[in-house]
Amino acid sequence: MKHKFVKHAGSRRLLLIFAGWGMDSNPFEHVSRPGYDTMVVWDYRELTPDWTAVSGYEEIALIAWSMGVYAASMTIHAIRHKITAAIAVNGTLTPVDNLRGIPEAIYEGTAAGLDERSLKKFFRRMCGDRATTDHFMSAAPQRAASELVDELHAIYPEPWFANPKVSDWDRAVIGRDDAIFPACNQQRAWEGTPLTVVDRPHYIDLQEIADAYIIDKERAAGKFDAGRETYDANTPVQQAIVEAMSEDIVRCHVDRQLSTAGTVCLEIGSGTGSLTRRLASMMPKGFLYTWDIGSTAPEGCDPTRFTSCDAELKICRTPGERYDAIATASTVQWFNSPRRFIAECHRVLRPGGVLMLTAFVRGNMHELTAASGISLTVPDERQWEAMIPAGFETLSWESADYDLSFDNPTDVLRHLRLSGVNGLDRGSHKVSGTSIVRRYPRMLDGRCHLSYRTIRMILRKKDNV
């Protein structure tokens, strides 16, 4: 295996790209995400990585494409504890398989007849159309066909002494028009894993994937801090969500658990303290700790119990069975992997401990998506439910939609600016405010609406887990 840093700015976070068969770093030199260095891995003739180069990173976001999905699953064992997101793109853990990968006859035929001419034909099939092929060939990999034959033979058949595959992936992105890994085979292979099916061929510009699924956490922190003074006055939906969560806590009698002397509660994403103050009033004899990516402790919080941090990383480094309760409101959709976060919450809760969580679901702010073409990628309600570990029992599960009405699109954008992060900046895809104002949908009366779709859950960790 070979690797190259295509962006190396001394960041604490790394975007790790596993390229496909026949690749080098050339087609991926442009892929980046703010706040992350970028490293490309390729050449799977030997699956023996040296992870020394990534030892200094606090967090790794993994995007693996094509045969790189298999290669990553075989080699990332030593760095799994640093990975907060693992996205598979047009590949499977069984790369040569008649039902869950590339059909065996096609794979063997490719290996038997590979030369420079057939390689170019493969790239055309991989790209699907002339424009995509031209784009890919402008930064084509520079490897000899004979070398690629060896790579094919090294991958299939698999060696009997291979490591167990890492099968814990957050999402699989499937190109509906993939002529290499048939889309139906990919769907079978990823049963039980969240799927996104896109109208793309086998080759997908991985910048699209990075923009869609890897969060710019530095920008999020800066915007939350910048909007702190105007947040409470401009977030009626978030305030209503906190009010509803407080009612859920009382209805499920969790408030009695919080009021017990010595109870230890952790709030994640404390922000300006709307939920913090309610929790503090419920637990006069307990200990409330707060974490937030912003730099300032919320009002109503003991400053000595506030930590400015990336909670998605910090919870992975927290000892097990540390807390009696964890609460988080309108925060986890800003994590690279909400699924992993919920699993970590289960680990650090004591038996009988409760997780109180609110989040947005797919379709949130759909009017803004229609006007801009950009949306924060969030799960739907069914996918949120699928994230819940078996070790939790559900005490409460509620969904709610909220609708805000504005005189004009400019007022919508002002609301978003004053409320902080809104998901409009998605890396290479930028849309001007003028364009959004022009395209924003209006009702028959001329007014503009903004819809929030939310989910609230209270989960209890089972005593026998």
pLDDT single digits (tens) 26-46: 999 999 999 999 999 999 999
| pLDDT single digits (tens) 143-175 | 999 899 999 999 998 765 677 899 999 999 999
Asked whether 398 and 244 are in contact (CB, 8 A), the reply is yes
Q: What structural domains does the chain harbor?
A: 2-214 (3.40.50.1820), 218-461 (3.40.50.150)
Tokens of 31: 């892929």
- For residue 377, which amino acid is it? T
Residues 214 and 64: their CA atoms lie apart, in Å, by: 13
Q: What is the pLDDT of residue 464?
A: 72
Q: Is the pLDDT of residue 419 over 90?
A: no
**pLDDT at residue number 94:** 95
| Residue 429 pLDDT level (bands cut at 50, 70, 90) | low
Output the pTM of the full model: 0.89
Whole-number mean pLDDT of the chain? 92
Under a CB-based contact definition with an 8 Å cutoff, are residues 383 and 194 in contact?
A: yes
Q: What is the pLDDT of residues 364-377, one digit of tens each?
A: 999 998 998 877 77
Q: Are 86 and 338 in contact (CB under 8 A)?
A: no
What's the distance, Cα to Cα, between the start and end of the chain in Å? Answer: 40
Query: pLDDT, tens digit, for every residue of 103-120?
Result: 999 999 999 989 999 999
Label residue 295 by pLDDT band (50, 70, 90). confident
Alpha helices by DSSP H, 259-301: 274-282
